[in-house]
Amino acid sequence: MTGKRTLLAAAVCVATFCVVVGSAGGRTTASNANASVVLTPLIGTSTNDIPQVTFGGKMGFHLEVSNTGTSTFNHLVIVVDSGPGTTFADSSQPNVCAKDPKDATRMICKLVQMKPTDGVFSVDLRFTAPLSGSSVDTSSSLTTDAQTQGSPGNGGTQTFNGNTVTTNLVSDAGNSLLRTFARGTEAIATGALLFQHSKFTMPNSLNGLFGVDTSVFETTGTPLCDKCPAFVTQLDIPISLTNSSPFSPTNPFLFTITLLPDGWPSGYQSTGLYHDDGTGFVKVPMCADSDLSPTVVMCLTSFKAKKSTGIIAEGRAWKNGKNGFG
């Protein structure tokens, strides 16, 4: 569900006009007017690979609207309304969909007309999650003027309510956890005061995807050697392990993993950064020696290690996994 959705019918007219969005009052349309409004979560539910969004992270959705009746809809206003503390962030159709200037928790899309033969209008979108709570509800609706075919002017205003999606929220655990729906060029970073922290930057292009659900977790594990630090950076971008991954050796994401001096164990002598893709930790090579390839999923462009300054490992990668210093 994370892929880029397109407008399936070019016959749907798009323009900007002034409409007051309200309740479903006004004249009732003819019985042959009907619509489908379906909102699908891209992150943050039990049906998604990343089942939660951290406070302040990005919640991703896919919306599909279609005219399932026999009347022509005019002056369509599509609303996606999220809960208190949220803010509309962006969408895949910025020329049509924008933040409600009177209510930052709502996205409004405006279409001039939709005929029953026009197919599906689709848009991917994001809201910024609230800073507290266990979940947040996001609802969808369509308000439209409809006219009975063959009888112009014989219409009214009606609202079709779509479904509501509940997104699960979780604390960032002291900036050690970040779960978000990330887009191209965006950086996902954990707290800079953590003994081990990281930053992952998406490539400019996600090869047609609006975004990818992403989780970064700074945790601990079994040290890779007797005096090695026990810190582990766990990166999860589930789609990076599939055949539809937007990442590749020629389209990698960038990373920086840092160990602060205070996290350097007594007697530790660094040998490098190690990566575990599920089959066990292996040393990450320098890109100059072994660049990314179908068999090399991560490499280092720079590695600086000194007890007084800590470790800074920078590089490129195209698959997720665990990372730690050995």
What pLDDT digit, counting tens, does each position of 274-321 carry?
Answer: 999 999 999 999 999 999 999 999 999 999 999 999 999 999 999 999
The predicted structure's pLDDT at residue 1: 40
- Read off the pTM: 0.87
Among candidates 308, 304, 307, 311, which has minimal Cα distance to 325?
A: 311
Q: CB neighbours of 234 closer than 8 A, spacing ≥ 6?
A: 215, 216, 217, 218, 219, 322, 323
- Residue 172's Cβ-side half-sphere holds a number of Cα atoms within 13 Å equal to 21
Q: How confident is the model at residue 32 (pLDDT cuts 50, 70, 90)?
A: confident
Q: Is 58 helix (H, G, I), strand (E, B) or coil?
A: strand
Q: Looking at this protein, which amino acid is placed at residue 204?
A: N
The predicted structure's pLDDT at residue 176: 98
Q: How confident is the model at residue 6 (pLDDT cuts 50, 70, 90)?
A: very low
Choice among 85-94, 147-156, 252-261, 308-317 with the minimum mean pLDDT: 147-156
The predicted structure's pLDDT at residue 157: 82
Paired tokens of 89 = 């962030």
Contact yes or no for 213/43 (Cβ under 8 A): yes
CA distance 75 to 81: 19
